Amino acid sequence: MLINTIYLRQFLATNTACLILVVCACWVAWPSSVNRKLNKAYDDVDHIGLRLDESQITWVVSLLDLGNAVSPFFSSFIINRIGRKNTLLLVSLFFLPTWLMVWDSSSLTYIYVARFLIGVSKGLAFTAVPVYISEIADHKIRGMLGSTTHTFMTLGLLFSLCVGPYISYQSLNIIFSVIPLLFLALFVLMPETPYYYIMKEDYEAAEKSLKWFKPYEKNVKESLAKLVESHKDMDTGASYWALFSQSNTRRPLMIVTGVSFFQRLSGITALVAYSSVTLPQLSFTSWFGPNECVIAFTLSMTITNFLFAPFMDTLGRKILLCTSVFCGIIIMTLTSAYYYVYPVPTNSYKDLIPYVLVVAYGITYLGMGNVPPLLPSEYFTTSQRSYASAVTSVALATGSFITSKFYLIVQKDCGSYFAFVIFALVHVVYLLFASTFVRETKGKTFEEIQAKFYKKENVAGELNNTQL
């Protein structure tokens, strides 16, 4: 991914901040790596001593999403209170004891509690990282830098899926505990965002931060004055109540919540967590199977995102999202048709069909993966962003919880084909929603987005002080 050298510091800070998302992704993919190691239907080759049934495994998977759904309700307070940077540093410290709880597999309760607590940490990270990136990024590259969150998530998934199935349960958990320490050592060197300092009326610190992130600014004091003026004019009265009660914020809140909820309800969580037990075993090869397909799926997402992320700032958010969802409709429909015709493995090359479709879904996931996390930071003001991002995290977690908790139940009672019929229908609703409501924001400053977004609602010709 090529980037102009004048934006190098923004690029460096963005990539460092996103390291915490690698930890989150490792936890998301952790069940896929250890399902067979913990499942009582398989031998305890790692001598873990704990064997789980199907119901317990679904709780191990879904408790992370439950914790994720809880944390955003207080994460916005933490982000605005101690800052975006300090919140992420706090998250890195919070990750460490949870790994130790999972490493000690003597009790299922430890694993349950650890999964819930890591979900809380994930919610904090997913609320703070997009806000941090949007507040340090120049409007010309904000889309590309925003897509970095998805790239690092896929890198974390890829690392977990490549390493997890092939090493012992204990070794996997020890390796993963190192990543939060690496993040802590690097991110402590990065500055806080200028927007946070402006919100706290520490204008001297805001100027230093602005100079660090944007050394190409010819007149930093003038740029800072514009940001301060914009904040005073538009950025008052932020709260959860204001988001839901103000007519100017209800619509953008509905949009960011909808695109996030449908993203996770469309099946991505189930593909990552359960592909190892959904895909047919290939009878004609011993070196490629469900685990390797999940790796190929994640690798396809990573490569596609790395190569085509700049299109976020050229083609735009809306067209990429709608194209991605449309491709998802086709792929989920074909996958459902396959499992309807072949409910059991055919022990032939036909069993490769769902493998190809899963990888194809990873290639076309660019829009669905990148756009939802980016919109809250573009649609809302400085102090509102943390609240909107928190609500978005709840929507993401709720969609993930529903799919991770009920996918195996639907698959067992109704068949795999029916689960993918549901996913295809969700994609149809997703496309209708995105094409109707999502507003384009490529290449625009926050002020320009505001003027466009609320143009129709602004009868008096002046923006309400709670608008973006």
Tell me how far apart the alpha carbons of residues 38 and 52 are, in angstroms, rounded to a whole number: 6
Residue 32: CB atoms within 10 Å? 26
Tell me how far apart the alpha carbons of residues 305 and 363 are, in angstroms, rounded to a whole number: 8
**Would you say residue 269 has pLDDT above 70?**
yes
Question: Residue 39: beta bridge partners?
Answer: 52
Collapsed DSSP state (helix, strand, coil) of residue 52 = strand
Q: Which of 352, 154, 374, 124 is nearest to 268 (CA)?
A: 154
| Structural domains present in the chain | 5-190+235-453 (1.20.1250.20)
pLDDT category of residue 132 using cuts at 50, 70 and 90:
very high
pLDDT category of residue 450 using cuts at 50, 70 and 90:
low
**For the packed helices 19-38 and 54-70, what is the interaxial angle rounded to 10 degrees?**
160
pLDDT category of residue 42 using cuts at 50, 70 and 90:
low
**Would you say residue 460 has pLDDT above 60?**
no
Collapsed DSSP state (helix, strand, coil) of residue 39 = strand
Q: Report the largest interatomic distance among the alpha carbons of the chain, rounded to a whole angstrom.
A: 70
- Top pLDDT among 125 and 164 is at 125
- Top pLDDT among 117 and 309 is at 117
Q: Give the per-residue pLDDT at 462.
A: 36
Tell me how far apart the alpha carbons of residues 187 and 191 are, in angstroms, rounded to a whole number: 9
**Would you say residue 467 has pLDDT above 50?**
no
Alpha carbon of residue 234 to chain centroid: 28
- Top pLDDT among 251 and 420 is at 420
Q: Give the per-residue pLDDT at 76.
A: 78
For range 321-326, the mean pLDDT:
95
Q: Give the per-residue pLDDT at 247.
A: 72
The sign of the dihedral angle between the CA atoms of 225, 317, 156, 53 is positive
**Would you say residue 347 has pLDDT above 50?**
yes
Tell me how far apart the alpha carbons of residues 460 and 367 are, in angstroms, rounded to a whole number: 36
For range 66-73, the mean pLDDT:
78
Q: Give the per-residue pLDDT at 339.
A: 94
Amino acid 74 reads F
Query: Which of these ranges, 162-176, 289-303, 320-334, has the smallest mean pLDDT?
Result: 162-176
**Would you say residue 406 has pLDDT above 50?**
yes
Tell me how far apart the alpha carbons of residues 377 and 356 are, in angstroms, rounded to a whole number: 35
For range 230-252, the mean pLDDT:
73
For range 402-428, the mean pLDDT:
90
pLDDT category of residue 187 using cuts at 50, 70 and 90:
very high
Query: What one-character-per-residue DSSP string does 310-347 give?
Result: GGGGTT-HHHHHHHHHHHHHHHHHHHHHHHHH-SS--S
- Top pLDDT among 289 and 48 is at 289
Q: Which residues contact 425 (CB under 8 A, 6 or more apart)?
A: none
For range 72-87, the mean pLDDT:
85
Amino acid 188 reads V
Q: Give the per-residue pLDDT at 4.
A: 67
Q: Which residues contact 232 (CB under 8 A, 6 or more apart)?
A: none
Tell me how far apart the alpha carbons of residues 178 and 39 are, in angstroms, rounded to a whole number: 26
Do residues 324 and 365 make contact, with C-beta atoms less than 8 angstroms apart? yes
- Top pLDDT among 148 and 247 is at 148
Question: Residue 83: beta bridge partners?
Answer: none
Q: Percent of the chain at pLDDT above 90?
A: 26
pTM: 0.73
**Would you say residue 268 has pLDDT above 50?**
yes
Q: Give the per-residue pLDDT at 453.
A: 53
Q: What is the mean pLDDT of the chain?
A: 82
How far apart, in Å, are the Cα atoms of 409 and each of 52, 266, 405, 423?
16, 16, 8, 15
Q: Pull the structure tokens for residue 388.
A: 């909107």
- Top pLDDT among 22 and 307 is at 22
Tell me how far apart the alpha carbons of residues 368 and 4 are, in angstroms, rounded to a whole number: 26
Q: Give the per-residue pLDDT at 458.
A: 42
Do residues 135 and 196 make contact, with C-beta atoms less than 8 angstroms apart? yes
pLDDT category of residue 104 using cuts at 50, 70 and 90:
low
**Would you say residue 152 has pLDDT above 80?**
yes
Query: Which of these ranges, 300-314, 320-334, 364-378, has the smallest mean pLDDT?
Result: 300-314
Q: Give the per-residue pLDDT at 118.
A: 86
**Would you say residue 332 has pLDDT above 90?**
yes
Q: Give the per-residue pLDDT at 383.
A: 66
Q: Give the per-residue pLDDT at 179.
A: 85
pLDDT category of residue 13 using cuts at 50, 70 and 90:
very high
Do residues 170 and 310 make contact, with C-beta atoms less than 8 angstroms apart? no
Query: Which of these ranges, 187-196, 391-400, 452-461, has the smallest mean pLDDT?
Result: 452-461
Q: Which of 135, 162, 114 is nearest to 17 (CA)?
A: 135
Q: Give the per-residue pLDDT at 271.
A: 82
**Would you say residue 263 has pLDDT above 90?**
yes
